[in-house]
């Protein structure tokens, strides 16, 4: 029997978990779904669901993982031997890999934009000249939007960067938990906070940014349609990497004496704080740039370069530095998250199929690369291929965030609430009764896991089906 690797300390465990949670979901997806759903009111629903719904799911996943020190399928089998629930658990192993495939396409876009910033593409003399007067600002907006559109709809370049992104993930995951994942995330996660804060302060200093701040803090409840509520909840699930066994797998590397509640709460809070800072870094810039907040997935890739071009009028070098920092931030954030998706699949193959890490990683990466290839091409040559009315990319995104992730969340909470014995759950949650605070709140947490979470998430799942 081989001994399972562990995260070395509480700090590194939290950095890895927070690294998984903080990602493109916070910097790329959060601002544009906020923009599509009307701002502050959406954020309120998002925060409430993160605190009341996501923490119980998070704890359920981490209890299953840490108790068994196994990835999804094996974990459920170990806790309730012979039950057929593990097959549903197996289904969740595929979800993070689907997400990994399309997520890596956007990861590739961020490498491309990092390369563009390194070659000073947002501060060319032409762009700076056009950005210098309000009259010709529209030209800048237009040429940046053409730049983005031209890039994602082309065939080869997005594929090259997407492949690079996937290759980097493979290298870290092959490195293993201690010398791969832990080493990488314990450095990049704290760096991310520093970088995004710098960008936020810069963004808030722009003329016209106040409108963006207002948009984020002044709720307009008339914009809160039922589909906005659902997408706020979906965003919270996505942002916390829930329902697909990522948290379960990472928790299986947490030491027995660690307090799961503390790890969970830190991770959720770091993720929420990061999303809010990212919101305040991006929305004010969107308003300052005169861009439509509901612009969709291209939002940050069109807004930020505009700001960089404007800033470049007077301070070209500073603007280039900020641009580079920004795209480095996005890339790091994306990598620490995508690694957790890949690891979930690899851990399953290693634990259950007794495969070597290298072989498991290569097989999975080959499969995901193939699916991602179609997702990438669905912005260009395959734009007309539709599955149930969506492009391939959107189909993968919707299927995972609306259905598979919610399904997994019901599964994990119901498993802990209804299949595991209450005594066992209590033992895991309180470290054998040792953690007194956890003991004091156990009944509330258990009630949330057993009754509230499965019912509410089932309602979300069904509403996604019918809406
Ligand atoms: N939470 C990450 C983000 O915000 C993405 C992510 C990592 C994820 N693992 C996941 C999303 C599992 C869904 C499921 O970018």
Residue 89: pLDDT band by 50, 70, 90 thresholds? confident
Residue 69: pLDDT band by 50, 70, 90 thresholds? very high
* Radius of gyration of the chain from its Cα atoms, rounded to whole angstroms: 22
Quote the pLDDT of residue 90: 87
Q: 172-200, pLDDT tens digit by residue?
A: 999 988 888 898 888 888 888 888 898 89
Helix (H, G, I), strand (E, B) or coil at 254: coil
Quote the pLDDT of residue 207: 87
Helix (H, G, I), strand (E, B) or coil at 390: strand
Helix (H, G, I), strand (E, B) or coil at 21: helix
**What is the atom index within ligand 1 of the atom nearest the CA of 333?**
15
Tokens, residue 327 = 């795209």
Quote the pLDDT of residue 178: 84
Site to probe by mutation for ligand 1, drawn from 109, 238, 336, 346 as the one with most ligand atoms within 8 Å of Cβ, is: 238
* 341 touches ligand 1 (CB under 6 Å): yes
Quote the pLDDT of residue 99: 97
Residue 422: pLDDT band by 50, 70, 90 thresholds? very high
Q: 214-241, pLDDT tens digit by residue?
A: 999 999 999 999 999 999 999 999 999 9
Average pLDDT over residues 263-282: 95
- Distance from C-alpha of 108 to C-alpha of 28, rounded to nearest angstrom: 13
Instruction: Say if residue 380's pLDDT is above 90.
Output: yes
**What are the φ/ψ torsions at residue 37 (nearest 5 degrees)?**
-115, 20
Q: How many CB atoms lie within 10 A of CB 106?
A: 25
* 406 touches ligand 1 (CB under 6 Å): no
Give the residue whose CA is nearest to atom 14 of ligand 1.
Answer: 241
Alpha carbon 191 to its chain's center: 17
* 337 touches ligand 1 (CB under 6 Å): yes
**What is the atom index within ligand 1 of the atom nearest the CA of 338?**
7
Cβ atoms of 330 and 146 closer than 8 Å:
no
Q: Per DSSP, what are the bridge partners of residue 390? A: 387
Cβ atoms of 245 and 72 closer than 8 Å:
yes
- Distance from C-alpha of 301 to C-alpha of 304, rounded to nearest angstrom: 6
Question: Angle 56-61-66 (CA atoms, 0-180°, nearest 5)?
Answer: 125
Tokens, residue 62 = 């981490």
Rounded to 10 degrees, what is the CA torsion of 286, 290, 295, 296? Answer: -20
| 248 contacts: CB under 8 Å, gap ≥ 6 | 61, 62, 64, 65, 71, 72, 75, 344, 412
- Distance from C-alpha of 287 to C-alpha of 281, rounded to nearest angstrom: 11
- Distance from C-alpha of 61 to C-alpha of 234, rounded to nearest angstrom: 17
Domain boundaries, the chain: 10-466
| 67 contacts: CB under 8 Å, gap ≥ 6 | 75, 79, 424, 428
Instruction: Say if residue 2's pLDDT is above 60.
Output: no
- Distance from C-alpha of 114 to C-alpha of 163, rounded to nearest angstrom: 15
Determine the distance separating the centroid of ligand 1 and the alpha carbon of 410, expressed in angstroms. Answer: 17
Give the residue whose CA is nearest to atom 12 of ligand 1.
Answer: 241
* 25 touches ligand 1 (CB under 6 Å): yes
Q: 130-186, pLDDT tens digit by residue?
A: 999 888 999 999 999 999 999 999 999 999 999 999 999 999 999 988 888 898 888
Site to probe by mutation for ligand 1, drawn from 22, 181, 239 as the one with most ligand atoms within 8 Å of Cβ, is: 239
Tokens, residue 329 = 């931030």
* 409 touches ligand 1 (CB under 6 Å): no
Average pLDDT over residues 244-270: 95
Q: 330-364, pLDDT tens digit by residue?
A: 999 999 999 999 999 999 999 989 999 999 999 99
Quote the pLDDT of residue 199: 85
Query: What is the pTM assigned to this prediction?
Result: 0.94
Determine the distance separating the centroid of ligand 1 and the alpha carbon of 304, expressed in angstroms. Answer: 23
Please indicate whether residue 93 or residue 114 has the higher confidence score (pLDDT).
114
Give the residue whose CA is nearest to atom 6 of ligand 1.
Answer: 241
Q: Per DSSP, what are the bridge partners of residue 387? A: 390
Quote the pLDDT of residue 1: 41
Tokens, residue 340 = 């957790």
Cβ atoms of 117 and 326 closer than 8 Å:
yes
Share of the chain above pLDDT 90, in %: 80
Average pLDDT, the chain: 93
Q: How many CB atoms lie within 10 A of CB 393?
A: 23
CATH class of 10-466: mainly alpha
Secondary element (H or E) of residue 386: strand 386-387
* 238 touches ligand 1 (CB under 6 Å): yes
Tokens, residue 217 = 């803090």
Q: How many CB atoms lie within 10 A of CB 313?
A: 16
- Distance from C-alpha of 429 to C-alpha of 223, rounded to nearest angstrom: 39
Looking up tokens 């082309």, which residue turns up? 154
**What are the φ/ψ torsions at residue 176 (nearest 5 degrees)?**
95, -175
Instruction: Say if residue 50's pLDDT is above 50.
Output: yes
Per-residue b or e along 113-152, where b marks 16 or more CB atoms closer than 10 Å to that residue's CB: bbebbeebbbbeeebbebbbeeeebeebbebbbebbeebb
């Amino acid at each position: 029997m081989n001994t399972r690797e562990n995260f070395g300390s509480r700090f590194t465990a939290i950095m890895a978990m927070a690294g998984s949670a903080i990602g493109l979901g916070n910097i790329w997806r959060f601002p544009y779904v906020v923009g599509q759903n009307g701002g502050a009111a959406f954020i309120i629903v998002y925060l409430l669901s993160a605190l009341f719904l996501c923490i119980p799911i998070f704890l359920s996943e981490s209890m299953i993982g840490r108790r068994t020190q196994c990835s999804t399928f094996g974990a459920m089998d170990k806790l309730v031997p012979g039950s057929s629930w593990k097959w549903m658990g197996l289904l969740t192993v595929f979800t993070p890999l689907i997400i990994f495939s399309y997520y890596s396409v956007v990861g590739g876009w961020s490498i491309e934009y990092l390369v563009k910033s390194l070659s000073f593409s947002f501060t060319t003399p032409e762009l700076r000249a056009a950005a210098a007067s309000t009259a010709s600002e529209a030209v800048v907006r237009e040429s940046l939007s053409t730049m983005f559109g031209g890039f994602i709809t082309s065939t080869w370049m997005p594929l090259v960067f997407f492949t690079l992104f996937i290759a980097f993930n493979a290298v870290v995951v092959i490195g293993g938990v201690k010398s791969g994942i832990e080493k990488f995330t314990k450095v990049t996660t704290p760096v991310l906070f520093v970088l995004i804060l710098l960008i936020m302060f810069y963004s808030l200093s722009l003329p016209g940014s106040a409108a963006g701040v207002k948009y984020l803090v002044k709720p307009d409840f008339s914009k809160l349609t039922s589909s906005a509520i659902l997408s706020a909840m979906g965003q919270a699930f996505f942002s916390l990497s829930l329902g697909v066994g990522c948290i379960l797998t990472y928790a299986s590397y947490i030491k027995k004496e660690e307090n799961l509640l503390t790890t969970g709460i830190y991770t959720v809070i770091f993720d929420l704080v990061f999303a809010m800072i990212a919101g305040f870094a991006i929305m004010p810039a969107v308003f300052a740039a005169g861009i439509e907040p509901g612009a969709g997935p291209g939002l940050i890739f069109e807004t930020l370069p505009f700001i960089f071009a404007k800033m470049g009028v007077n301070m070209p070098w500073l603007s280039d530095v900020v641009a580079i920092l920004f795209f480095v931030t996005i890339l790091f954030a994306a990598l620490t998250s995508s690694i957790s998706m890949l690891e979930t699949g690899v851990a399953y193959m290693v634990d259950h199929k007794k495969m070597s890490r290298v072989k498991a990683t290569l097989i999975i990466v080959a499969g995901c690369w193939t699916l991602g290839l179609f997702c990438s091409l669905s912005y260009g040559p395959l734009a007309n291929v539709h599955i149930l009315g969506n492009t391939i990319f959107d189909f993968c995104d919707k299927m995972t965030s609306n259905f598979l992730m919610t399904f997994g969340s019901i599964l994990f909470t119901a498993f802990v609430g209804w299949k595991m014995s209450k005594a066992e759950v209590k033992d895991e949650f309180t470290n054998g009764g040792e953690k007194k605070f956890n003991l004091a709140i156990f009944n509330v947490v258990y009630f949330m896991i057993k009754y509230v979470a499965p019912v509410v998430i089932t309602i979300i799942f069904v509403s996604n089906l019918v809406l």
